[in-house]
Structure 1
């Protein structure tokens, strides 16, 4: 399978040379949301009314997705009602980052390096080793956002997550956010998509906005 949505967001976050993650917290929410949306597009999960349920337990064959599918299934089975998407994002966003990086390493797209801060504290970095996937990703984003090409379902979902998590700078580092936000908002509305896909994209976007707003409020207080 091609690089997944969660991995694509992680590629945007990781600095190509230093391997440091930029906007790590917001990217974490988007990575977790991207994995869920990928599972929805694959028919393994469904969303309705902001809640999440397992529609098909058949493995996708992609380790990153199948691990999360199993975790969501085990977690949801303990609930008396379908759990909220926001609750899963809050639960998983930190771990999702590590899982996405591990998957990128397994694909040979990033390497792992360990450095020591002040000679004492180990810090891991993940510089890129094969830039082809990121170049294709950025070209696709530029095509739909900057040049107005109609997006496919996955690209539209990716744009919606980037927009909701306010990661415009990661996707378009040389373009002011105010110049890309209107087009990204229009793509996120998803009028061209089928009902199920549109519902999934809007649910993920709303969940992203909710969890990032709650996090910001907690930091300010």
Structure 2
């Protein structure tokens, strides 16, 4: 049973998996994307702010629980403001996928199942619950087709989907112009929009570097 509204990390994790639990994108790419999603969760929820284009801790109010709280503490403990690129790199260094999977399962967005591959290797699949996947896909589809005005959450999620190459795979036919309209417009404040762009660029650059490294290791 779904017990809460999805975070950006929840939503990205759900969209990155097919209904049978297989990933649509590579695990490394997903981990990088989740690093960006975690940062944007903090910004959109008001646990971090943007000052002169850099991320700063919001020291008032309680620290949230779970993964987002652990990441919030990291920003609070940093003596100086840092760029979005810095935090995306820091957050993706943590094993986010398992943490996000556990919390998404606890909130009813996915269920985890273990199968055996080749009779030897245990493979864990994270199967999105039908309701969660339908609600997230429907919301993003409405935004991308112009039937829903995007808010900060929508703009951030679409930016993350673009950076991780999920838009073409999960929402085929979406035009570049519409993606630009969603990620650059709506009610998103200028400061938040800049950080979304920074986080999006950091995710995109990290993914390109990962792909190039993989190609080089294979002799391409």
TM-score bracket, normalised by the shorter chain, equals 0.7 to 0.9
Q: CA deviation at 1:136?
A: 1.3
Which residue of 186, 191, 197 maps to 2:192?
Answer: 197
Q: CA shift at 1:159, angstroms? A: 0.7
1:114 aligns with 2:117: no
Q: 1:111 to 1:117 in 2, by over 3 A?
A: same
Equivalent in the alignment of 2:28: 25
Is 1:149 aligned with 2:148? yes
1:214 Cα offset (Å): 2.2
Cα deviation, residue 50, structure 1:
5.8
Match of 2:138 in 1: 139
1:56 and 2:55 aligned? no
Identify the residue that residue 41 of structure 2 maps to in structure 1. 38
Q: Summarize the alignment of residues 50-199 of structure 1 with structure 2, pairs less than 5 Å apart.
A: 51-56=54-59, 58-59=61-62, 61-74=64-77, 76-77=78-79, 81-93=80-92, 95-128=95-128, 130-172=129-171, 175-176=172-173, 179-190=174-185, 192-199=187-194
Q: Which runs of 5+ in 1 are unaligned?
A: none
8 Å CA contact retained: 2:35, 2:96: yes
Partner of 2:9: 6
Q: Deviations over 1:101-124 (max 9, x none)?
A: 111111123222222222112211
Gaps of 5+ in 2: none
Query: TM-score, normalised on structure 2?
Result: 0.83
CA RMSD across the alignment: 2.3
* Paired position in structure 1 for 2:210: 215
Give the Cα–Cα distance (whole angstroms) in 2 for the partners of residues 59 and 16 of structure 1.
36
